[in-house]
Amino acid sequence: MDLDLKDKVALVTGGSKGIGEAIVRSFLAEGAKTANVNRSTTEGEALAAEYELKGQECFFIQADLCGVEACQRAVEKTLERFGRIDVVVNNAGVNDGVGLEAGPDDFVASLQRNLVHYYALVHHSLAALKQSRGSIINIGSKVAVTGQGGTSGYAAAKGGINGLTREWAVDLAEFGIRVNAVLPAETWTPLYERIINEEADPASAKREIEQLIPLGRRFTTTREMADMVVFLASPRSSHTTGQIIFVDGGYTHFDRKYTAH
């Protein structure tokens, strides 16, 4: 299916590895141009160089999005390079384990890492999105609806992302801007692999988690996450807005009798 994304411009945060990298690659596979905002210079430049050899534009913008001024600079650099923004994908964040005992300062810092830049990036992109009648996709987490324990900051941020998705969908409908959220549960990323490999028996630890995922008893792939994001960004989903979509193999919502094996 042609998703009608050729030459569209997608601004993606955290696009150098894991789910974000897969999103960038899926946009490029559809003929879109991407701006990848990421903290790591090495990874971002390597990805940009890979696609430059293919004649495709994967523009790397180095930024630490904990500072809201970095969000404005990222938008400005994207517009300087491409002249437009059709899609904003808010993806950057980290499950930082800031729990109740950490204290208010650490909690606020966690919101800076995981929520505030979502708002700031969309705020600064708004004029461009109105002009293109674009779309916004927010990457959330199952933690927003299930809880996890020991990660109050991250859980609050992800709950806030769900709330902003619905709020912005209402605010921006009159401008033809669609806003949706895509939520992973257990997705196999380099970070997840590293965590699993720290276990005494990594293979057993991985199998134990896989048995909790009803559809296929396997982790979601980053490609499966990315393809949903790119579809929602495209005109093929032109009447879909305000939706919170779980790409999780049934992990989050199925009855426990189907997940407890």
Would you tell me the crossing angle of helices 18-29 and 222-233 to the nearest 10 degrees? 50
**Burial group, residue 14, by CB count within 10 angstroms (0-12, 13-18, 19+):** buried
Residue 113 and residue 115: Cα distance in Å, rounded?
A: 6
Residue written as tokens 């994001």?
229
Q: How far is CA 223 from the centre of its chain?
A: 12
Tokens of 126: 């708004």
Amino acid at the residue 61: I
The answer to whether residue 119 is catalytic is: no
Please identify which of the residues 51, 118, 154, 251 carries the catalytic annotation: 154
Q: Which helix (H) or strand (E) holds 135?
A: strand 135-139
What residues does 138 pair with on adjacent strands? 90, 181
**Which residues are tagged catalytic?**
154
